[in-house]
Chains A and B, each alone.
Chain A
Amino acid sequence: MREVAIIGVKNTLFGEQWDRSFRDLVVEAGVGAVEDAGVAGERIDSMFVGNMSGGQFVEQEHIGALIADYSGLAKNLHVPSTRVEAACASGGLALRQAFYSVASGMDDIVIAAGVEKMTDVPSSKASSALAAAADREWEGIMGATFPGLYAMIARMHMHKYGTTSEQLAQVAVKNHYNGQFNPIAQYRNTITVDAVLSSIMVADPLRIFDCSPITDGASAVILAPADVAHEYTDTPIYIKASGQASDTIALHDRRDITTLDASVVAGRRAYEMAGLGPKDIDLVEVHDCFTIAEICAIEDLGFVKKGEGGKATQQGETAIGGRIPVNTSGGLKACGHPVGATGIKQAVEIVQQLRGEAGKRQVDGAEVGMTHNVGGSGATAVVHIFSRNR
């Protein structure tokens, strides 16, 4: 297997973008990443596009071809383009497919992109589209919502480990604090614990400020074999590992409601592949679709002991400057969560951090970073490890 590097990255703005279409967004991200890498279109061997629900959000399927076409890669070049879907983990999984294709030697220059246009439909329709990532026949039909499923995880976490609503709120406060320094973030305002605790209840104990928003956005990265990466950039970032795991689609079938076993196993596979452990990671972008999700993630990936995620957050261990900075981008909470794009956006953030280009949210001396992308309530998890050094 060949070593693989990222040689170009680009995020669009994240937010409510009524003046821009699905294809506007993804073309901006794709072209931006190609320009960042300084690579000619003829050199591109293939592309993988993470998209959860184009069919429901913009009534468009056949996303892979559409994007190749509007990126100018279809007409004369006929670049193969594949859509990858794993709910909110679609982006992370697109990156993994791109990684495979370069590592295997089949392709050299590959684009991994992710996109979602969520605000063209009313929020009730958006919620219903998102609910398709859970078990429609045995969760959805009973009136389950995504906040509801994560609320049941939160309730159990509080019951078992004494995690508090204040600790959940601290996750949102920290991620908004980081998000103010991210020029693409949907929310660049800081919030307080009191503001979270007095926001409206969505699914007890989760309030609206415990939830990531509905967002439009796209992200793209360009991959190349590590051996030639320096021909394109002075700061290639190496993909040291890729891990993926599946679990039951329904939350009720999990071994432990408070542990996402898919995260644990995807993390373990990535650590083994990289020959690294949690202590070697300088910063991590985790899937904080809800505040409780970040607490579970840092536990499941081994950064804190099971049950201590809330306490660690409260004590500032996950802040920039803390022991293990988590979600320097602002996370899904402040940056926004265009579901198919999120996994790629996480990779863009880590690349910018490892290049030393993260501005006011820069983690000093960051050399090794991780991304963690989850589909549904944990039926898919994808973990990548990146390094500044080969």
Chain B
Amino acid sequence: MSVPRFWRKQIARYNLVGTYCKTCNEYFYPPRNVCPTCRRDGQIGEHKFNGNGELVTYTVIHTAAEGFEGQTPYVLGIVQLEEGPRLTSQIVGDPKEMHIGMKVRPVFRRLGQSGERGMIYYGTKFVPA
């Protein structure tokens, strides 16, 4: 991923900043510019999530995505934040201890690197709470 493409979403990735629709009281992470329910009637503002959530489902990846080869096996999960939205993230910890419904909390971690000498990406992963 290019530097500007990552940089544009840096605040959202580092601090779990998403959006909130005042019209229907729905929270969004990743952030959205348009409410999918209210569409143009939705009044969208920023919201910072505290990041506490629950593991909805997960997998243990053995054949890695490009750039993640050194990390296998790694746990990838869908986390539901307390306010409602769901996101995809790595879950740090022993794969054998993962289970659906597990409480999780966010941690600031290195996500990856573009190529051998490229930019290092940081963002939010989760650990068992």
Do residues B65 and A131 form an inter-chain contact, with CB atoms below 8 A? yes
Give the chain B neighbours of A200 by CB distance below 8 A: 62
Number of interface residues, chain B, beta carbon within 8 A:
35
Closest approach, in angstroms, between the C-beta of A289 and any C-beta of chain B?
Answer: 15
Interface string of B33-68 (1 = CB under 8 A from A): 000100000000000000000001111111111101
Which residues in window 52-105 of B have CB below 8 A to A?
56-66, 68, 71, 73-74, 76-78, 86-90, 95, 100
Give the chain B neighbours of A135 by CB distance below 8 A: 88
Do residues A143 and B90 form an inter-chain contact, with CB atoms below 8 A? yes
The residue in chain A whose Cβ has the minimal distance to the Cβ of B9 is: A137
Q: Please judge, given known A-B contacts A148-B61, A200-B62, whether A257 and B56 are in contact too, CB under 8 Å.
A: yes
Q: How far is the CA of A143 from the CA of B89 in the complex (A)?
A: 8
Interface centre among B60, B78, B89, B121 (most CB of A within 10 A): B78
The residue in chain B whose Cβ has the minimal distance to the Cβ of A155 is: B57
Residue B118 interfacial (CB < 8 Å): no
Give the chain A neighbours of B73 by CB distance below 8 A: 204
Residue B1 interfacial (CB < 8 Å): yes
Do residues B76 and A257 form an inter-chain contact, with CB atoms below 8 A? no
Do residues A140 and B65 form an inter-chain contact, with CB atoms below 8 A? yes
The residue in chain B whose Cβ has the minimal distance to the Cβ of A124 is: B66
Give the chain A neighbours of B71 by CB distance below 8 A: 143
Q: How far is the CA of A200 from the CA of B62 in the complex (A)?
A: 9
Residue A253 interfacial (CB < 8 Å): yes
Closest approach, in angstroms, between the C-beta of A150 and any C-beta of chain B?
Answer: 9
Size bin of chain A's contact surface: 35 or more
Closest approach, in angstroms, between the C-beta of A262 and any C-beta of chain B?
Answer: 14
Interface string of A130-146 (1 = CB under 8 A from B): 01000111111111110
Do residues B63 and A202 form an inter-chain contact, with CB atoms below 8 A? yes
Which residues in window 182-210 of A have CB below 8 A to B?
200-206
Q: How far is the CA of A145 from the CA of B112 in the complex (A)?
A: 15
Selected A-B contacts with CB under 8 Å, 15 pairs: A127-B63, A131-B66, A137-B9, A141-B121, A143-B111, A143-B112, A151-B61, A155-B57, A203-B60, A203-B62, A203-B63, A204-B60, A204-B73, A252-B86, A252-B88
Residue B128 interfacial (CB < 8 Å): no
Q: How far is the CA of A204 from the CA of B61 in the complex (A)?
A: 7
Do residues B100 and A159 form an inter-chain contact, with CB atoms below 8 A? yes
Q: Please judge, given known A-B contacts A141-B111, A152-B77, whether A203 and B65 are in contact too, CB under 8 Å.
A: no
Which of B64, B68, B78 contacts A252, CB < 8 Å?
B78
Q: How far is the CA of A202 from the CA of B90 in the complex (A)?
A: 16
Which of A125, A140, A159, A206 contacts B57, CB < 8 Å?
A159
Give the chain B neighbours of A145 by CB distance below 8 A: 61, 63-65
Give the chain A neighbours of B56 by CB distance below 8 A: 156, 252, 257
Q: How far is the CA of A148 from the CA of B112 in the complex (A)?
A: 18
Which of B9, B76, B86, B95 contacts A143, CB < 8 Å?
B76
Q: Please judge, given known A-B contacts A143-B65, A147-B63, whether A152 and B58 are in contact too, CB under 8 Å.
A: yes
Do residues B78 and A143 form an inter-chain contact, with CB atoms below 8 A? no
Interface centre among A125, A135, A147 (most CB of B within 10 A): A147
Q: How far is the CA of A253 from the CA of B30 in the complex (A)?
A: 9
Which of B30, B57, B66 contacts A138, CB < 8 Å?
B30
Q: Please judge, given known A-B contacts A138-B87, A141-B121, whether A201 and B62 are in contact too, CB under 8 Å.
A: yes
